[in-house]
Chain A
Amino acid sequence: MRWLRYGPDAALVECESLDEMSAVRAVVVAAGLPDLVEVVPGARTVLIAARPGSTGLAQARKLVESAGLESADGGESREITIDVRYDGEDLDLVARTAGITVDEVVELHTGATYTVAFTGFAPGFGYLTGLPEPLRQSRLDTPRTRVPAGSVAIAGEFTGVYPRSSPGGWRLLGHTDAVLFDSRASRPALLAPGDRVRFRRIR
């Protein structure tokens, strides 16, 4: 683990693995330090931003370095099931690439439990880890200029759901009617870092 300076009031904690990153994030979030403004997980890092002039960063560092990081239990993790119609445009491509049938693609995708590792790209867009190996496939060579809201997709080691229509290069497996982000709701994002997610097939 390395602590990198990120301007005068923030630090980037660089971790060896996604699991270590999740553990660091969970430890810091669970402590609820009042001087921290943002705790932003990435694929291998946690960005910690503190109130200017506060001791928030020092407190966070002490906390992380004295914590056992085996467990990534943040205490506030939720379990969410997302209903999906597996009718995505890239379903055949994904099956072909994996050398399996479309039904087997769906079984793999619905059979796993995922964890929201980090967010970004758009409000409410979670990068979910736990994707079965055969589904770990590259992005499309040519990204689509418009991916519809609710599209359930895969790319690399991640799966995710597009909260709203946007350009995108992930392979589309299907779509959901679930609302991923509503800035006026008391819980604006359906998926937050640390949450456990399963996909359920509906027809």
Chain B
Amino acid sequence: MSRALEVVATGPLALVQDLGRPGHAHLGVPPSGALDVPALRLANRLAGNPEDAAGIEALLGGLAVTARASCTVAVTGPPVAVTVDGRPAGSHVPVHLTAGQTLTIGRPDTGLRCYLAVSGGIDVEPELGSRSRDVLAEIGPPPLEPGAVLPLGEPSGIPDGADTVTAPPNPPDLLVPVVLGPRDDWFGDAAHQLSAPWTVTSESNRVGLRLDGPALRRTDAREGAELPSEGVITGAIQVPPNGLPVVFLADHPTTGGYPVIAVVVPRALPALAQARPGTTIRFRPYA
């Protein structure tokens, strides 16, 4: 029998993710891919995979899978309880499963997204060079359901024997470095306005982080002005007419008609991927 993994439970949302499909934005296709990229890379190393293998991104944990073949797995992201057939196994370590054993991920106390890597990687059919599910463009394997059977590739490497990998903290306050522009001149004193405390709202998803706070005010000259559609990248902070910013994440639209006041530097994106509703964000211009 070919190697496979059976989904038993999914929690709120479990998606197959790899490093996405950048390079297709000119066709209207978002980059997609794991939101917390370092967490997926680490899980893959612990499972003995190339870092770009496909794993599962499980929002708020709650994922349970049964191995249909012997495999090495690893769970990363926020610190979270992991059990094998009910016995504690731990996160951020390689875990061996024999055929028939069930791995269950608990609900993390902090952070949002747990990553499961399995030796050989999830081997569903790629679309546009990636196995990632894009929730906006609806490309890639549909959200996982209990009963789904996921094919696994052939194991190709030796698991990283990490002694201790510490899960990154997910603090309730984040200081996020940004580069101002390209449309900061649409706003009066953009740096100052952005430095206000912003709260992550529950409307946030893989498309973007929707923030609440003091509405960003345009300059008088730009009040009511229209912006012809222009390209958007991950990390762009777009400001719709209501003045409440959206930080675009991996499944963002490829073009948009509202001004982008600043762009989050890439190394700050993993923390945003783990920012729960209620988290406070302050943007600080960088360089």
User: Measuring CB to CB, which residues of chain A are less than 8 angstroms from any residue of chain B?
Assistant: 4-10, 12, 14, 37-47, 49, 52, 118-125, 127, 181, 183-184, 188-189, 192-193
Q: How far is the CA of A116 from the CA of B29 in the complex (A)?
A: 16
Interface flags for B135-150 (1: CB within 8 Å of A; 0: not) read: 0010110000000000
Query: Is B230 a contact of A38 with CB atoms below 8 Å?
Result: no
Query: Is A119 a contact of B254 with CB atoms below 8 Å?
Result: yes
Chain B residues whose CB sits within 8 angstroms of the CB of A46 once the complex forms? 231
**Smallest CB gap from A119: residue in B:** B28
From B27, B230, B263, B287, contact of A188 by CB (8 A): B27
From B23, B181, B183, B266, contact of A38 by CB (8 A): B23
Query: Is B128 a contact of A4 with CB atoms below 8 Å?
Result: no
Query: Is B235 a contact of A7 with CB atoms below 8 Å?
Result: yes
Q: How far is the CA of A38 from the CA of B28 in the complex (A)?
A: 11
From B27, B260, B265, contact of A189 by CB (8 A): B27
User: Measuring CB to CB, which residues of chain B are less than 8 angstroms from any residue of chain A?
Assistant: 22-29, 125, 127-128, 137, 139-140, 179-183, 228-233, 235-236, 253-256, 260, 263-266, 287
Given A124-B27, A125-B28, are A5 and B253 also a contact pair (CB < 8 Å)? no
Query: Is B229 a contact of A127 with CB atoms below 8 Å?
Result: yes
Main secondary structure of the interface of B (DSSP, over half): loop
From B23, B230, B254, B264, contact of A12 by CB (8 A): B230
Query: Is A41 a contact of B231 with CB atoms below 8 Å?
Result: yes
Q: How far is the CB of A158 from chain B (nearest CB, A)?
A: 10
Q: How far is the CB of B245 from chain A (nearest CB, A)?
A: 15
| A-B CB pair tally, cutoff 8 Å | 119
- Jot down 25 A-B pairs with beta carbons below 8 A, ordered by A: A6-B182, A6-B260, A7-B235, A8-B179, A10-B263, A37-B23, A38-B26, A42-B228, A42-B231, A42-B255, A47-B25, A118-B26, A119-B26, A121-B253, A123-B27, A123-B137, A181-B28, A183-B127, A184-B125, A184-B127, A188-B24, A188-B27, A189-B29, A192-B26, A192-B27
Query: Is B233 a contact of A120 with CB atoms below 8 Å?
Result: no
Query: Is A188 a contact of B231 with CB atoms below 8 Å?
Result: no
Query: Is A40 a contact of B25 with CB atoms below 8 Å?
Result: yes
Query: Is B228 a contact of A44 with CB atoms below 8 Å?
Result: yes
Chain B residues whose CB sits within 8 angstroms of the CB of A119 once the complex forms? 26-28, 254-255
Chain B residues whose CB sits within 8 angstroms of the CB of A14 once the complex forms? 182
Chain B residues whose CB sits within 8 angstroms of the CB of A193 once the complex forms? 26
Chain B residues whose CB sits within 8 angstroms of the CB of A189 once the complex forms? 27-29
Q: How far is the CA of A188 from the CA of B253 in the complex (A)?
A: 17
